[in-house]
Structure 1
Amino acid sequence: MTVASNTKLILTGAALLVAVVGCSVAVTRAMANIENPPEDDGGQPTSAKIVRSIRNTMNDTRYVMGPPIQAYIIPSVDVHQNEDTTDRDKRVAYVSGFTGSSATIVIEEGAAAFWTDSRYFMQAKNQLDNETWIIMKSGQPATKSIQEWLVEKLPQNSRVGIDPFLMKAKEFQQLSAYLESHGHNLIALPTNLVDVVWKNRPELKLKELEPIGDQFSGKRVPQKLAEVRKAMKALTADIMIVTALEDIAWLLNLRGSDFEYAPLFFAYVIIAENDTYLYLLKQDRATTNKIDNHFQTEHIDIIINEYNNTVAGINTVIRNTKGMVLLSSASEAIQTIVPSERRLEAESPIMKMRIIKNDVEAQKMREAHKRDGASIIKYLYWLETEIDDQNITEIKGADKLKSYKSQHEYYRRLSFQTISAVGAHAAMAHYIPTNDSDRQITRTELYLIESGTQYKDGTTDMTRTVHFGTPSDTEKDAFTRVLKGFISVATAVFPRGAPFSFFDAMARRALWDVGLDYDHATGHGVGAFLKVHEYPPLISSKNMPPGMCKNMFTTNEPGYYENGKFGIRLGNVLQVVDAPHSSEHFSGKGAYKFDDITMVPIQKKMINVDLLSESEIQWLNEYHAGVRNNVSPLLSDNSNILEWLERETQPISKQNEECTETTTEQPETTTDQ
């Protein structure tokens, strides 16, 4: 559906011209010959100094194209709405010192406020200067939203500025309407004020693109384009502007290295009735022999242009056509280029195709997780056997795990920065060790490891919590309740399109039974050699279409955290598959279930078996048998690791718990060995 704009903009439509500022397409700032930025008082650029410099630009008509603004909003995303950005786009980190992936800053004349979600409350407290920042805990009942805070703080008839490339059009319009109803205006600024004051801003490191053949993609580009155009026609759209980088990479069967963890590259794509246009940052990357051969093999003609010509290209296509233009989660800056009467806002048909993997993608994902499991098992074995003889710290551990993973030819990079957390550090859900915080892994505290990998055939994400000594009863009870929720999701049988909130409640029930909970979502979608965070699915209390569908891949990662003490989380990747013998379920519509594709043992010493039901014990034993059978062939060159894996995956039972613990130290030799 279309959304009419009631926003008072300084620049609209074709007046939004574009230039490249590093990796960012930015509004050309009709001010290309601007003089030097505001002077600061010299010295190291502390957070307080940077905020002061930004306030100076808020009053400088060279940058705001009109009267001064009274507040400035700084999102943590880039121009393609990515949360995990390049260093050049880490504006929130530069201004505040906060290194998490999700936050929003608002600077007004008398205060600077910082919003982030529950994953980062402790991190924000530790990293922010409390004399400069007011920490706003998003999602908490007492916390005001950004718009509420602005209305409370600002004098009447205030102007609130933002870079329109850094906010989705729908969000921009909603915020604008709210502010206008309270006597204020949201202004799409022609200049990003952080970029004005950011000295020594990092340069981009652009590398070659990598083709993905149909033995990995399962579908060639012409077929994908035909399916997209068919979906466009069903929506009555003649043109589609593709802004999501994961959609572009998937559509063209290409991957990049412009980002540290996601295999993406900076580009826009315009799909017209007969032509496909690629606007690529450093366009000569698409004219190498390797990429030329890829396009020839795929039997497609792509019209390639430079990234900074995107807006001119959109304007040209619009002038030469008359139909509707499909926009999906585009930024306010991109959306306003398209005349309002020609805008068609709807979910991206590419997104729907991408999140439901084809059979080849699904099989490759399973293979990648087997190899990943073998690497993690090597790491856990190494930790257990070397922990007393080496000073193994959180950072050294993460580096060792990476070294195991990187030995495979399909390894490309990690899919996120490894969470390697000892004791109280694990109570911070997204803790990343630094040289200052790095602690030794010992036998006296819990250790949480969350690691993901980008292989050419799939993306992984796995979490385990282990103890190399003797866990306390409190830790075991909490771990077991997390495990019960983990098993509840893993064993679910459900109708097609089941709402995501259904699985979220299942994961939390055993914790809720004793008044415990966790503050993050239970799971997220995982791409096929794409982003490790893919939405939908998103297993949380909120629902979004289309619900859980066959060949979606989602994480299952419930947890529990005690601030200052310990944190527990388990995480597997699940594939949605047909449930067996279910043709009559749900009035003949059939049913789905999950297959666990992560192949890593769950530490048995952390389990209070008395809290598990017989069916939960059966699931655990069957899961461990699957891990052993799938991963053992990949570890056949090391008998010590195989013995360790055999021990760690031996069955447990309530009836003979003590005996099980004793006998598994020396597993019996069977005809299978």
Structure 2
Amino acid sequence: MAITSKTDEISKLLTVNGCDLSKIQIEELICGLAAAPKPFKQQELLPLFFKNTSKIPNVLDGILESYLSELNYIETVELNTAEKKNRLNKLSLYLTHQGLSGFIIPRGDEHLNEYIPAHAERLKWLTGFTGSAGIAIVLEKSAALFVDGRYTIQAENEVPNSLYQKIDTSSQSHFSWLENNLCHGNVIGIDPKLHSIREFKKLTNICIRKGAELKTLNINPIDHLWHNQPPPPISAVVVHETQYAGETANKKLLQIGNSIKNIGAHASILTAPDSIAWLLNIRGNDVPNCPLTLCFAIIDEDGKIKLFIDSRKLSTDCIEYLNNISQLHEPEFLESSLCGYGKDGKIILVDEAITPQWFETVLKNAGGKIIYGDDPCLLPKSIKNSVELHGSRAAHLRDGAAVTRFLSWINVANKKNMIDELKAAEKLSQYRSKNDLYKGPSFDIISSTGSNAAIVHYRANKISNRLLQDGNLYLVDSGGQYLDGTTDVTRTIAIGKPTEEMRDRFTRVLKGHIALAKVRFPYGTSGYQLDVLARQNLWEIGLDYNHGTGHGVGSYLNVHEGPQRIGKFSANCVLEPGMIISNEPGYYKEGSFGIRIENLVAVIRCPKSISDGKDILTFETLTLVPIDKTLINKQVLTNIEIGWINAYHARVRDELGRILEDDKNTLRWLQNATEPL
């Protein structure tokens, strides 16, 4: 995105009206703001340009906000097969000139985050793959893209077979493929800021076994080739008030400092933006759908913390808040600070799973000592306090009303099968945006029908867009970010009359959902031990789904949060009271239909009267949205399962009914949708 005459005009207008920044600073700030996700909030934008917010003139009302909404960093070249081939060829030529035999391109940023800014979409730029997880390896005579089961169909649709071998990681990992394809003497390049310490060790061992060299690069080849690459994003940092967070930042800092001390370390490096956001009670808008500000931190055992953040993101009020709880530094001082810890012989706690290799290299070169362990914020962040749980319940109530209004609208508006995936997604967004405390979606809506619904993380576009037609299923997976909580809900509904196969598969998925929703389990149980409950009814007829059953969810933070999860693979994390996790079994018939039923649940303790005095846990269902009864085969349900559905629907009707009283049409639909089986 070039600086335009309009940018110059805005710069002059700001300067004339008392902006404290130079012309170059204004232009750089505008470019950074334009690289952040939209929409922009004027009340957050202008304080970045004016130190004294009381002197912001009314003449600027809406002007900057309107201008930024017009700016965008978008592809000016159509990313067709020819252009993908051109980019791959350019990369191969560059690697040859650099004396490299290959290069590894992960889908990630310097924080190893699932949610990344446009600046870090290197894998997408090279291959055209738009999924949220994947990695490519480019060698001299071959190239491969590795994705998990959520994205196998999507990768087939987006990435040409003529350029890349596409591999499901459940059948072969990128480590295994690399070892099979490496030759003695090969030199493989990586960007050490984009690979974890743990992954770097695995790659190093592979290269040693094969007589190859793993070379860390100072310049990422993609950054060298990507001429219109967006700059790092700039968005305003805002304070997340204690009325929503439930605890002050100072209290959390002391808690985390003590945990670091108990481990035997002097300090810990924090690279995960959601950990820092939770710890300091701050939020931002640097990445899509998650209220994060991209920054790094080092917290000492006494709870004192150094925050490395672009100061252009901070208003005067925010600087005052952060100065009271932290030491503020620009990001360029991170390396020298790490070296200082190393030279002083400090013991640093590092999470090798989520910390880039660059950090270990800097620390060890400076003489630092490292002990490995989990990010000290990971577990405390996942265990919601009473205020956060109360907020989540309130957010789910408002969110459930929005989704219910949407489902009622679909029932009426699609009588002639004229609603398509994009229009439906837009309508759902409109309903949700009217809610109190709503800040935006928690992820891009998955609005899918027919064969598109068999693509687990499908995103509708103008080319793939389909009408919701009779005889098909419609799967909609969506969520909202609210100041008091984060939501994620999936419903699958029949458009017209469903087939018996659809009803059978839906009912099996529902039985698994119910089994998980009502389970009781002793303290110390992990999600891995519960996963079979959700899959057993599909396994009975040789079917399964290729994704996890449950992921953790943040509190006005990431919709995917660890360490808690429910899935096939073993995890060390036990389920703790206060954790929020999804319950989302599914079934996908490629080329035909997809089914998923998702509610969020909170881990709670059973009453002592039920648990015989033992520490027994269960789930409290938070999501309040009707389940499509036309897809349920009542004949294969047990009385207990029927009772669960009827009780759930009675609760949905009672709780949503109170806030839908003014919407007679939706209320009428809700009452019918929640009638007992």
Q: Cα gap change, 1:409/1:43 in structure 2, threshold over 3 Å: closer, same or farther?
A: closer
Match of 1:634 in 2: 659
CA distance in 2, matches of 1:630, 1:107: 54
Moved more, 594-603 or 388-397: 388-397
Aligned to 1:348: 375
**Counterpart position of 2:90:** 53
Question: Residue type of the partner of 2:245?
Answer: S
Q: Equivalents in 1 of 2:514, 2:531: separation in Å?
A: 12
Matched, 1:530 2:557: yes
Q: What does residue 169 of structure 2 align with? A: 138
1:116 maps to which of 131, 147, 161: 147
Could you tell me which residue of structure 1 aligns to residue 637 of structure 2?
612
Post-superposition offset of 1:309: 2.2
- Which residue does the alignment assign to 1:257? 285
> What are the Cα deviations for residues 143-185 of structure 1, in whole angstroms up to 9, with x where unaligned?
3x32332233232121111101111101111221122122112
Residue range with higher mean Cα deviation, 404-413 or 198-207: 198-207
The answer to whether the Cα contact below 8 Å between 1:22 and 1:88 also exists between their aligned partners in 2 is no
Q: Counterparts of 2:138 and 2:130 in 1: how far apart (Å)? A: 18
Check whether the contact 2:249–2:325 (CA below 8 A) recurs between aligned residues.
Answer: no
Report how far residue 138 of structure 1 moved.
Answer: 1.1
Does 2:305 match 1:276? Answer: yes
Alpha-carbon distance in structure 1 between the residues aligned to 2:112 and 2:657? 41
Question: What is the distance in 2 between the residues matched to 1:535 and 1:125?
Answer: 29
Q: Of 549, 557, 577, which residue of structure 2 is paired with 1:550?
A: 577
CA distance, structure 1, for counterparts of residue 184 and residue 609 of structure 2: 62
1:263-285 deviation per Cα after TM superposition (whole angstroms, max 9, x unaligned): 1011011112453211113x133
Unaligned 5+ segments in structure 2 are 1-30, 36-76
Match of 2:329 among 289, 305, 315: 305
CA contact (8 A) 1:70 1:154 kept: no
Cα displacement string for residues 14-60 of structure 1 (whole angstroms, at most 9, x for unaligned residues)? xxxxxxx9899xxxxxxxxxxxxxxxx99987111111111122122
Mapped partners of 2:512, 2:504: distance in 1: 13
2:362 maps to what in 1?
337
Measured against aligned partners, the alpha-carbon deviations of 1:463-515 in whole angstroms (never above 9, x if no partner) come to 00001311111100000000000000001000112121222111000111111
1:165 corresponds to 2:193: yes
Distance 1:411 1:377 in 2: 16
* Residue correspondence of structure 1 range 225-236 to structure 2 within 5 A: 225-236=253-264
Cα distance between partner residues in 2 of 1:273 and 1:546: 24
Partners of 1:286 and 1:589 in 2: CA distance: 49
For 2:7, the equivalent position in structure 1 comes to: none
Asked if the contact 1:97–1:127 (Cα under 8 Å) also holds between the matched residues in 2, the reply is yes
1:524-673 map, 5 Å? 524-581=551-608, 589-652=614-677
Structure 1 segment 141-540 matched on structure 2, within 5 A: 143=172, 145-274=173-302, 275-281=304-310, 283-289=311-317, 291-292=318-319, 294-295=321-322, 300-319=324-343, 321-328=344-351, 329-339=354-364, 342-388=369-415, 391-540=418-567
Does the residue aligned with 2:670 lie in a helix, a strand or coil? Answer: helix
Q: Aligned pair count?
A: 600
Code of the residue aligned with 1:302 in structure 2: it is S
Residue aligned with 1:226, SS: helix
Deviation at 1:526, TM superposition (A): 0.3
Contact 1:208–1:285 (8 Å) recurs in 2: yes
Deviates more, 1:599-608 or 1:325-334: 325-334
Does the 8 Å contact 2:119/2:233 carry over to 1?
A: no
Contact 1:147 1:179 (8 Å CA) reproduced: no
**Structure 1 324/541 Cα, relative in aligned 2: closer, same or farther at 3 Å?**
same
Q: CA deviation at 1:388?
A: 2.4
Deviation at 1:292, TM superposition (A): 4.1
SS across alignment from 1:349 = coil
AA aligned to 2:86 is K
**Letter paired with 2:96:** N
- CA spacing shift, 1:154–1:323, aligned 2, 3 Å: closer
Aligned AA for 2:97? D
SS of 1:269's equivalent in the other structure is strand
Given that 2:136 and 2:144 are in contact with CA atoms closer than 8 Å, whether structure 1 keeps it comes out as yes
Residue in 2 that maps onto 1:660: none
Whole-angstrom distance in 2 between the partners of 1:645 and 1:503: 32
- The C-alpha deviation readout for 1:234-287, integer Å capped at 9, x for no partner, is 001111111111100000100000011111011011112453211113x13334
User: Residue type of the partner of 1:48?
Assistant: K
CA–CA distance in structure 2, aligned partners of residues 443 and 631 of structure 1: 28
Structure 1 residue 199, shift from structure 2 partner = 1.9
Provide TM-score, normalisation by structure 1.
0.86
Using the alignment, how far apart are the partners of 2:180 and 2:621 within structure 1?
49
| Secondary structure, counterpart of 2:362 in structure 1 | coil
Change (3 A) 1:485 1:273: closer
Partners in 1 of 2:568 and 2:616 — Cα distance? 22
Q: 1:627 to 1:294 in 2, by over 3 A?
A: farther
Whole-angstrom distance in 1 between the partners of 2:644 and 2:610: 23
CA contact (8 A) 2:32 2:234 kept: no
Q: For structure 1, which runs of at least 5 residues remain unmatched after alignment?
A: 1-20, 25-40, 62-67, 653-673
**Per-residue CA distance 1:74-94 (angstroms, 9 max, x = gap):** 000111011221111111111
SS state at 1:494 partner: strand
Q: CA deviation at 1:582?
A: 5.5
Worse-superposed segment, 470-479 or 153-162? 153-162
Q: 2:183–2:211: 8 Å Cα contact kept in structure 1?
A: no
Matches within 5 A, 1:22-41: none
The 3-state SS of whatever aligns with 1:506 is: helix
Partners of 1:151 and 1:91 in 2: how far apart? 23
Q: Per the alignment, do residues 616 and 413 of structure 1 end up closer, same or farther by CA in structure 2, a change over 3 Å counting?
A: same
In the aligned structure 2, how far is the partner of 1:467 from the partner of 1:202? 42
CA contact (8 A) 2:145 2:165 kept: yes
Paired with 1:414 and 1:287, the residues of 2 have a C-alpha distance of: 25
SS at match of 1:555: strand
Distance in 2 (CA, whole Å) between partners of 1:454 and 1:60 is 46
Identical aligned residues as a percent? 34
- The RMSD of aligned alpha carbons is 2.1
The equivalent of 1:9 in structure 2 is none
CA distance in 2, matches of 1:258, 1:650: 44
Classify the secondary structure of the residue corresponding to 2:481: strand
Partner SS, residue 352 of structure 1: helix
Counterpart of 1:667 in structure 2 is: none
Say which SS state the counterpart of residue 452 (structure 2) adopts: helix
